[in-house]
Amino acid sequence: MVIGNRLRTLREERNFSQGDIEKKTGLLRCYIWRVENGHTIPSVATLEKLARAMEIPMYQLFYEGNEPPNVPKLVKRGTHDEVEWGSNGKDRRMLGQFCRALGKTGDKDQKILLLMAQKMAGSRRVRR
């Protein structure tokens, strides 16, 4: 879908001229023309202004149905035990401390520390 064509269609369905939209939004008529003819891509903030000026909900700029589209079911976030270590709280601060400390060590020392961590974690495969 080309957003400019959709904007023009919606504007004409509501019997608004580009001048009417200009007055309601403060956008220049030449800018509205450039958007409708595909010469300019409007920002989300501009799309919000245009939707308000045409007195329509924002979703209608992208969707041709009368009702809002069905929202897909989102994947639920895992439990506290399933959240990856270092992603929040005390663990995040500790991970930051590790990163700062490792940034100050040499390559050889980093490899030794990684080897030790893998052995402590019980990893089967250890890279040398």
Domain boundary among 26, 43, 61: 61
Is the same domain home to 57 and 92? no
* 94 within domain boundaries: yes
CB within 8 A of 78, min separation 6: which ones?
Answer: none
Q: What is the pLDDT of residues 51-79, one digit of tens each?
A: 999 999 888 888 877 777 777 776 666 66
pLDDT of residue 107: 86
Report if residue 67 sits inside a domain. Answer: no
Decide: residue 20, CB within 10 A, 0-12 exposed, 13-18 middle, 19+ buried.
Answer: middle
Tens digits of per-residue pLDDT, 9-59?
Answer: 999 999 999 999 999 999 999 999 999 999 999 999 999 999 999 999 888
Q: What is the domain-level CATH number for residue 56?
A: 1.10.260.40
The residue range of the domain holding 118 is 88-128
pTM given for the model: 0.53
**Within-domain flag for 76:** no
Residue 46 structure tokens: 């501009």
